[in-house]
């Protein structure tokens, strides 16, 4: 759950619908291998980056700079396919959840996100799943290449001498670790929800109208009004349990009750075209009551007491945390500045002393939430950057510059072997 505090800046997924809905005469501005870049794709990326960096989207050279970046991404994606690089469904799901969580924090609520896009959170995730997968493939290829690049002690010193006058002051920083637990639905609540779904399924199997039941009972805001209709989707769009079921159905067949991260589903396959399916579903979320929250909080309080008595926080995190991104590294969230902290617990973090462990704090992740305790491993006051205190930071800056230089050279080499056509 490193997404609690971090954002994959590599993924420029969440461009509000108010931007993408602009009427554009779409045309192809570039072709890279078998991939195209359209005018609308370029315009959206320019608008997004301009807003992110608070600059004029019509700034001279910005459009061409962004187009060069998009071409580079497509080149790396083409190389990823050549090298048979893969990402898992779980990796894509985590990245989507992280981006949605970040955007929810930016605009204030899931409802606001859904209003901006004109579709449900689950629909947004389906629509952007393929794009996120491509972006993760690009990221993985670059990470594999960069793993072998390093800098020497002398290179770090030379970098500092050359750039020290332009390097920014080190801000206040917090070295944090956490243990995260998701409240489990009360078994009684889950049982009752399944019983309701079973009665709906029985009614449909007895001849009831699927669409009417979807409109009446489904909790999917993106499809309920249309009778649960999900439209045509390709393989790889749905979460694993849903996809395995829908692709195993015959046309017209209604599924058994399927449980996913979103709740219980009843699915009907309406049509199939090769690797695409037209389905509809009824979704019923599994509510978590006060008892679920209390159980999670009590568990974390017990773990906190063990840590306060001297048990290694890292060992406790490795054993108990449900954050898969930090489980293998003892719950380490890295070193963060104040503006990187998630708003729902930033205030408490800023008041903590070095070595302190927080009480359980509620935090939102995607369309769900959980509780965690946070350990302030280290707290660093703001100061002017220097080799003695900040060698590792300067080393990372030097390494970043070296990687960028070598990546630029690699992109130039790819352009010699992969078809590129930029159309002005």
Please tell me the predicted confidence (pLDDT) of residue 3: 36
Please tell me the predicted confidence (pLDDT) of residue 333: 94
Q: Could you tell me if 271 and 238 lie in one domain?
A: yes
pLDDT in tens, 234-277: 888 888 899 999 999 999 999 999 998 889 999 999 999 988 89
User: Is 402 inside any structural domain?
Assistant: no
CA distance 83 to 138: 11
Any idea what DSSP says for residue 22?
S
Q: Could you tell me if 217 and 310 lie in one domain?
A: no
pLDDT confidence of 8, banded at 50, 70, 90? very low
Cβ of 379: how many Cβ atoms within 10 Å? 17
User: Is 414 inside any structural domain?
Assistant: no
Please tell me the predicted confidence (pLDDT) of residue 23: 45
Cβ of 160: how many Cβ atoms within 10 Å? 19
- Strand order of the β-sheet with 173-181 is 332-337, 173-181, 368-380, 361-365
Which domain range does residue 296 map to? 171-184+289-380
Last residue of a domain, one of 261, 284, 307: 284
Q: Could you tell me if 193 and 241 lie in one domain?
A: yes
Q: What pTM was computed for the model?
A: 0.54
Q: Could you tell me if 345 and 269 lie in one domain?
A: no
Please tell me the predicted confidence (pLDDT) of residue 187: 78
Q: Is the pLDDT of residue 2 over 50?
A: no
CATH number of the domain where residue 56 is located: 1.10.4030.10
Please tell me the predicted confidence (pLDDT) of residue 170: 92
- Bigger pLDDT: 298 or 8? 298
CATH number of the domain where residue 231 is located: 3.10.50.40
């Amino acid at each position: 759950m490193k997404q609690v505090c971090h954002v994959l800046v590599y993924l420029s997924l969440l461009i509000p619908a108010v931007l993408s809905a602009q009427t554009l005469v779409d045309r192809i501005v570039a072709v890279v291998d078998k991939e195209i870049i359209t005018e609308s794709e370029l315009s959206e990326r320019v608008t997004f980056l301009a807003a992110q960096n608070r600059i004029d989207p019509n700034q001279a050279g910005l459009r061409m700079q962004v187009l060069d970046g998009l071409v580079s991404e497509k080149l790396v994606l083409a190389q990823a396919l050549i090298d048979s690089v893969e990402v898992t469904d779980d990796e894509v799901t985590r990245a989507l959840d992280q981006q949605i969580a970040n955007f929810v924090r930016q605009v204030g609520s899931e409802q606001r996100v859904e209003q901006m896009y004109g579709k449900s959170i689950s629909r947004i995730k389906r629509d952007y799943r393929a794009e996120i997968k491509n972006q993760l493939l690009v990221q993985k290829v670059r990470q594999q290449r960069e793993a072998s690049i390093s800098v020497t002690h002398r290179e770090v010193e030379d970098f500092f001498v050359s750039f020290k006058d332009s390097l920014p002051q080190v801000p206040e920083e917090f070295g944090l670790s956490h243990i995260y637990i998701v409240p489990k639905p009360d078994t009684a609540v889950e049982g009752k929800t399944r019983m309701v779904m079973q009665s709906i399924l029985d009614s449909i199997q007895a001849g009831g109208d699927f669409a009417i039941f979807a409109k009446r009972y489904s909790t999917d805001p993106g499809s309920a009004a249309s009778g649960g209709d999900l439209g045509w989707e390709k393989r790889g769009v749905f979460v694993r349990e849903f996809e395995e079921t829908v692709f195993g159905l015959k046309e017209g067949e209604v599924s058994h009750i399927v449980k996913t991260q979103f709740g219980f589903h009843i699915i009907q396959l309406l049509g199939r075209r090769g690797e695409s399916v037209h389905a509809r579903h009824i979704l019923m979320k599994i509510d978590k009551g006060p008892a679920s929250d209390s159980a999670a909080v009590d568990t974390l309080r017990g773990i906190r007491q063990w840590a306060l008595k001297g048990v290694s926080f890292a060992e406790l995190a490795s054993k108990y945390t449900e954050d898969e991104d930090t489980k293998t590294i003892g719950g380490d969230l890295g070193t963060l500045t104040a503006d990187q902290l998630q708003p729902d617990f930033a205030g408490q973090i800023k008041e903590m002393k070095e070595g302190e462990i927080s009480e359980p704090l509620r935090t939102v992740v995607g369309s769900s939430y959980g509780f965690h305790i946070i350990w302030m491993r280290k707290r660093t006051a703001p100061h002017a950057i220097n080799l003695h205190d900040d060698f590792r930071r300067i080393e990372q800056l030097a390494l970043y510059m070296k990687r960028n230089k070598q990546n630029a050279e690699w992109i130039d080499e790819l352009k010699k072997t992969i078809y590129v056509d930029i159309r002005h």
